[in-house]
Chains A and B, each alone.
Chain A
Amino acid sequence: MTLAPEADESELRAVFEATIERHDRIEPRDWMPEAYRKTVIRQVAQHAHSEIIGMQPEGNWITRAPSLRRKAILLAKVQDEAGHGLYLYSACETLGVSRLELTEMLINGKQKYSSIFNYPTLSYADVGTIGWLVDGAAICNQVPLCRTSYGPYGRSMIRICKEESFHQRQGYELLATMMRGTDEQREMVQESVNRFWWPALMMFGPPDDDSPNTAQSMAWGIKRNTNDDLRQRMVDMTVPQAKALGVTLPDPELRWNEERQSHDFGSPDWDEFKDVITGNGPCNTQRIAHRRRAHEDGAWVREAAMAFAARGAEA
């Protein structure tokens, strides 16, 4: 919708607020407060970066996949993540920032990505655990975002969530198959779940009383549930799945609370979380160095493509 140039900011703001109020979408050409634009860019970019950095820990096992069927599944999955990154960078570009700028902000440490990818993948079971727990946690975070207020982001999320839920099932199915295999394979699965359980719960972000951006993001309809709500939902969902799989979750405080009709559970190690998000996790340096190397090594190819296209345009 076009507005006369003299429309003053308070009118524009009123239209914006009304759109949010109706749970309708904000579209790229609509007026939006600068702070809203910045917040959406921050969140979508962080999500896009997570997809791209997330290719590394799983990509780590493509060349070592223990069966050709698993190799095909894993390669296709990591390729999907590149696709998710692509849609999300495109959604972000509708807000006036280019993929190149975003990539540079990532490799210069000015924008973040999900802390989970700063953990190493140490066995093939991790491919399954990442699918089950990490993609599971990501879906908990992302499903509500299909209804987020910024249109291009919400629409990307619908497709992404469908693919993520597919990945989650593939991960669970890998673990279920391994659990039916040898003792060594069962140990491998349990060991992997032990390492990823707490980091997966940390994916929902800090506890609500320590999450400075939550209130504004919820008011704007960018975020739809608090971190602690989503964390609880993840625990409640996962407990029966773990039981069916035959693995234990490494939390001595985990038990059913009849009164709350929910599970009580322990607290993640928030000191470790702070270490990881401030750059000192097991793989932070490695992940960024990998991304930087790929970006810099590819510069001459991107320049060649631009030069070739420009020459075609002249001809």
Chain B
Amino acid sequence: MSHTPDPSHLPDHDSVYDGLLGGDDSQWAFGTDFEDPLAGVDTTVPDGVDTHELATYCLMLADDALVMSHRLSQWCSNAPDLEEDIALANIALDLLGQARLLLARAAAADPSVVPALPAGSPVPPEDALAFFRGDREFRNVRLVETDNGDFAVTIARLLLFSTWRLALLQRLAASRDHVLSAVAIKGVKEMTYHRDYAGRWFLTLARGTEESRRRLIAGLEATWPLRAELFTTHPVELAVAGSGVGVDPSTVADEVDVLLEQVFSMSGVDRPDIAPLAGVRGETGRDGLHTEAFSRLLAEMQVVARAHPMGSW
């Protein structure tokens, strides 16, 4: 028999209703109005850095996170078990948080990147960037935008993405831009968990059943052609690396490769020998050239926001 206190003496939780009508804003966990996510942070662009290049670079990193988050959030209520539903939502939330800060940084560095909205629109810059740009203005790599496929495809993609982004953010922590540096330091902790999660599931599926192994290898082969793009340096990335605020992705290729080799060897999976996906006239995701899946993704993501350019949410 339990020895908990007589439950009739427990505090009366009916009181949760109290204060719903109070005029005191402190009751709201998120505040009642939009606040500048970079409030109180020094957003001065370091000397010698081109503001448009910095903003464009921030959009690249932001769009990778935003679009990957969108795909992961589609697992919500669809995952193989409740624990996975919760974990994938967590990862999606982390990336959404990174995207918001990076979009705000892009807007602060160069307001000209923010799409124009009707005069008096209350839509904040991060939302103007997320919901009012067209597909050609998004700078994310194509890896993050293709359909989720099954759980194996999702895990293979998450492994490729998180090993790469973790390596990038580890270096970005030393950025001369204080905002990017702070975002990277926070992101490193998050990406470490994402990589660990993806790595553990990669191993589990590879060594689980015949079916899971077959699906995992198919998932890896489906995502592999999109991997080369992650390490291809765009001129903007080269420029921001040169001015000490960004990272040239080609410089993390070896390190990421060693890590993947470890996962592959533990899993008994061969490194795929598949050619990279070509671009169009030399353009790929970083240039705003995307897959067919992407404009459909954006149409869904942007539909409500675009219907209410004067709306407050």
Contacts and interface: CB of A to CB of B under 8 A. Distances in A.
Interface of A: 1, 15, 19, 22-27, 30, 52, 55-56, 59, 62-73, 75-76, 78-79, 82-83, 85-86, 89, 99, 124, 136, 139, 143, 146-147, 151, 154, 158, 161-162, 165-166, 168-170, 172-174, 176-178, 180-182, 184-185, 237, 240-241, 244, 290, 293-294, 297-305, 307-308, 311
15 contacts: A27-B2, A62-B76, A63-B70, A66-B308, A67-B124, A68-B100, A75-B89, A75-B96, A82-B77, A82-B82, A139-B17, A298-B151, A300-B209, A304-B204, A305-B208
B7 A154 contact: yes
Contacts of A83: 86
A59 B103 CA distance: 24
A150 to B, nearest CB: 10
B144 to A, nearest CB: 14
A161 B16 contact: yes
Contact of A68 (B127, B208, B300): B127
B13 A161 contact: yes
B211 interface: yes
B313 A301 contact: no
The 6 closest A-B pairs by CB, nearest first: A304-B208, A298-B80, A304-B212, A165-B16, A301-B80, A181-B312
A72 B311 contact: no
Contact of B32 (A62, A161, A173): A173
A151 B74 CA distance: 35
B73 A302 contact: no
Nearest to A64: B304
Contact of B77 (A59, A64, A184): A59
Interface stretch (B20-28, B165-173, B177-185): B20-28
Given A59-B77, A69-B100, A71-B96, 20 more contacts: A22-B6, A63-B73, A64-B301, A72-B100, A86-B86, A124-B313, A136-B17, A143-B16, A147-B7, A147-B10, A151-B4, A161-B13, A170-B30, A173-B28, A173-B32, A174-B313, A181-B313, A244-B21, A304-B212, A308-B208
B14 A147 contact: no
Contacts of A65: 304
Contacts of A146: 7, 10, 13
A124 B304 contact: yes
Interface string B77-113: 1111111111001101100110110010000000000
A241 B304 contact: no
